[in-house]
Every structure is written in C-alpha cells, then in structure tokens.
A = this chain, B = another copy of it.
Amino acid sequence: MSSVEDRGITVNDLFVPDPKSPILICGMPGSGYVGKLAVDHLVESFKGRKFAEAYSAEFPPHGNVDDGGVVRPIAGEYYLCETGQKHDLLIFTADAQPATTNGEYEMSEWVLERARMHGVKQVFSLAAFITGSFSADQRVFGAATSLELTRRMKEHGVKVMKEGAISGMNGIVTGMAVLYGMEGACLLGETSGYLVDPVASEAVLDSLSKLLTVKIDLGSIRDKAREAKQVIGQIQRMTEQENAGRPGPTGQPGYIG
C-alpha cells in the first residue's frame, strides 16, 4: 500500500494503470442512482479493476457495513476498464458525495489531476435530470464545455440544457475539466427522482456509447430497466386512475442534480 497525502485526501494506490487513450467517466450516488448504476454497470461489463482508493476527511463520518458484517471506510474508487476498443475507460465513483462544499471541490480536483496524469482528454459525468413525475420518455439531457461537443450531443439525440446549474461533483468535474486541459461533458438521464432508476441509467449509457464510439454491452442493465419499467408502469396506472378527471402532471423538468 502506498499512501499519499494530497490536500486532505489520502490515496491508496493498488496498481499503476496503463490505459489506452483513456476517457474519464464519473458517476456519483445521487437522486435515482442514475449515474452510480451506470458506472457500476461499466465496471461490471468491462471487468474493471480498481487501481486507487481515495479517503477524505470531508466524507460523511461513518463506517459502512456490508451484508457480511464487514466494515469499510467511505471511499472514492478509481477503476480501469480495458475495452479492447479505441478508448479505455477510467471510472470514478464513491460510496457517498463529500459532506462539505470544500470536500466536493477537493475530491473533484483530485479526480481531474489523476485523470490528467493518465493522459485523459475527455471527461463525461453521468447524472440525473429530476423531473418530479413519471414519464414514458427516456430523454437524456446534456451540457458540455464547448459548443462543438454540445453540437455532437444533439446529433446523437441528447437534448442540450439551456441555462441552469449541475449540482455537486458532477457539475464541478465537468466544468473544471477545461482547467486541466480536457473537454468536459455531463449526460443527465431524465428520472422522477422517487425511485432508483436503471431505465435512466440505460438511456444515459446508450448516449454515452454513441458519443464515445465505444460499444457497451447493455444486457444486464436492460434487464434491470425492464423490471423497473414494469414497476413504474404500475405506479403510473395507479396514479392515472387516481387522477382521472383531474388536471394531469405537466412533465416539466424541475430540478437537475
């Protein structure tokens, strides 16, 4: 174990990755677990290997216990996914978002420093676009650090955001990418915000796959999405019956996270 102190972050390096023209994909736990489920799927389907853990004094002050009774400190995790295609992927995720403003910036900057060290030129963060209502649509919203990238997003069916803010580490990592000589983009899957939503995760991964021209096997997340759609369908039918005769929900996006 090598241990490095970096602006209040302790790093545990497990091995030194040697990725091929890598792209950073960042997904943090948040509403609907849209980004978290998506990056977990990438790690699983590309047999990603964890190469670094990051501990921060700004994470929530807990020890996590898994279902076997094993305790672990809250950590950020960096994975190498060798795709065998044009781009390897570096995946960053964590057990939780840092608990303070300062902690969110610190961890974001550490993630970007590491990515730069490994030659990353593009960063995609995967997040949720909270609408507050269930919808049959699976829209993916996007924003990026350059107009060229937003144009490419549009070509692949991503709805480009107009004014607003992307909160938390997803917004910071995307925006700050340019300060590290990278392009940044955020893909936000439309979701109600009420349920863990693999449907939104699948839609986000589908857009990501097209934008990166990296083929992603969506098999297992599609299965989870199908189950979730059935649950959501039931909820919608129940809601519709309740609301019959009343003005319906507008489907207007309300909050982005």
Interface positions of A (Cβ within 8 A of B): 1, 3, 8, 10, 12, 55-74, 99-106, 109, 142-147, 150, 153, 160-172, 174-176, 179, 181, 184-186
Assess whether B60 is in contact with A101, with CB atoms less than 8 Å apart.
yes
B67 with A163: CB separation less than 8 A:
yes
Query: Beyond the given A63-B165, A71-B184, could you list 7 further A-B residue pairs with CB under 8 A, ordered by the A residue number?
Result: A10-B109, A57-B102, A58-B105, A61-B104, A66-B163, A69-B143, A100-B102
| Given A67-B162, A161-B69: A57 touches B150 (CB 8 Å cut-off) | no
In the complex the two chains form, is B162's CB within 8 Å of A69's CB? yes
A176 to B21 Cα, complex, angstroms: 34
- How many copies of this chain does one complex carry? 4
**Which residues of the other chain, B, contact A174 by a CB distance below 8 angstroms?**
63, 71
Cβ-defined contact, A145 with B71, below 8 A: yes
What is the chain B residue whose CB lies nearest that of A186?
B71
Q: How far is B186's CA from A105's CA once the two chains are assembled, in angstroms?
A: 31
Taking a contact as CB atoms under 8 Å apart, the answer to whether B150 and A69 are in contact is: yes
- Is there an interface contact between A146 and B70, defined as CB atoms closer than 8 Å? yes
Complex Cα–Cα for A158 and B87 (A): 49
- Assembled-state Cα–Cα distance A105/B61 (Å): 7
**CB-based contact B71/A171 at 8 Å:** yes
Task: From B58, B63, B171, B186, give the contact of A102 (CB < 8 A).
Answer: B58
The 8 Å CB contact of A168, one of B61, B105, B184, is: B61
Complex: how many Å from CA A63 to CA B60? 22
Point out the residues of chain B lying under 8 angstroms from A184, CB to CB. 71
| Contact yes or no, B150 A55, CB < 8 A | no
Verify A63–B101 contact, CB threshold 8 A: no
Of B55, B71, B161, which contacts A143 at CB under 8 A?
B71
Chain B residues with CB below 8 A from A55, complex form: 176, 179
Complex CA distance for A62 and B164, rounded to whole angstroms: 10
Min CB distance A96 to B, Å, is 10
15 residue pairs from A and B, CB less than 8 Å apart:
A3-B179, A8-B102, A10-B179, A57-B102, A57-B105, A61-B169, A62-B165, A63-B166, A63-B175, A64-B165, A71-B145, A71-B185, A71-B186, A73-B179, A100-B102
